[in-house]
Amino acid sequence: MNSQTTLKEQCIKLPEVKFPENLSLYKAFKKRESKRDMTEKEFTLQEISNLLWAACGINRENGKSTAPLLWKHHVHIASVYGVHKYDAEKNKLNKVLEEDIRSKMAFQDFVNKAPLIIILGVNTDDMKNDWLERLGGKDFYAGNQTSAVSQNIYLYAAAIDISTVAMTWYDKKFVDEKLGFTGGMQSFIIHPIGYGK
Ligand SMILES: Cc1cc2nc3c(=O)[nH]c(=O)nc-3n(C[C@H](O)[C@H](O)[C@H](O)COP(=O)(O)O)c2cc1C
């Protein structure tokens, strides 16, 4: 049993995924929308575990994901406690930054209040397929993959009545530098998420 309730720690073993009873796929589709009204109420580790698994956790013995991924997806979460990286294989979070960067990440104020901002990234150096440039390039593919993860976040949020929005209008240079991204490692979308007002 994991008694820890916040993201204060450096290394966090998340509780096993356990969705609330009676979640409805129909309700998720029916209620899916971009919602920017967010309170500062923090999520429990159970909620974070569920949310990250819905985004792109591992759902099969072969290690594949709830999202259709051609390459590894890198997921970080920014909170008042700093930034943690999600380890989907071990269902863990590892802190990579002590600083609370939420208020400096984006150009829209509602983001500052979000208890969590999920940062979705792909390392384009992992993309070695020779057809990539012919078919749209690395950023095109990384962006498409990121959209699938984003939609999973939207649907889970809608199913449990919380607010989220996909955002590309954010300070990508600041975020990528703060997270220590080098080479082809880049963020593509951020997702503030919180309880609605
Ligand atoms: C790739 C992408 C980037 C987006 N970036 C932002 C953003 O930076 N800020 C924002 O407020 N909304 C952003 N949105 C949300 C759109 O404004 C929203 O999806 C659109 O208006 C349709 O509304 P709906 O999601 O409620 O159906 C983005 C959506 C997508 C798909």
Measured CA angle at 102 (ends 98, 108), to 5 deg = 170
Whether 1 maps to a domain, the answer reads no
- Whose tokens are 């300070």? That residue is 171
Q: Is 8 inside a domain boundary?
A: no
| Angle in degrees, CA 11, 105, 137, rounded to 5 | 90
pTM for the model stands at 0.96
List pocket residues of ligand 1, CB cut-off 6 Å.
33-34, 108, 165-169
Calpha distance 115→100 (Å, rounded): 11
- Residue 15 falls within a domain, yes or no? no
**pLDDT, one tens digit for every residue, the chain (197 residues):** 455 678 999 999 999 999 999 999 999 999 999 999 999 999 999 999 999 999 999 999 999 999 999 999 999 999 999 999 999 999 999 999 999 999 999 999 999 989 999 999 999 999 998 899 899 999 999 999 999 999 999 999 999 999 999 999 999 999 999 999 999 999 999 999 999 98
Helix/strand/coil for 109? coil
- How far does residue 9's CA lie from ligand 1's centre (Å)? 32
* Structural domain contains residue 141: yes
Which domain range does residue 129 map to? Answer: 34-195
CA of 169 to the centre of ligand 1 (A): 9
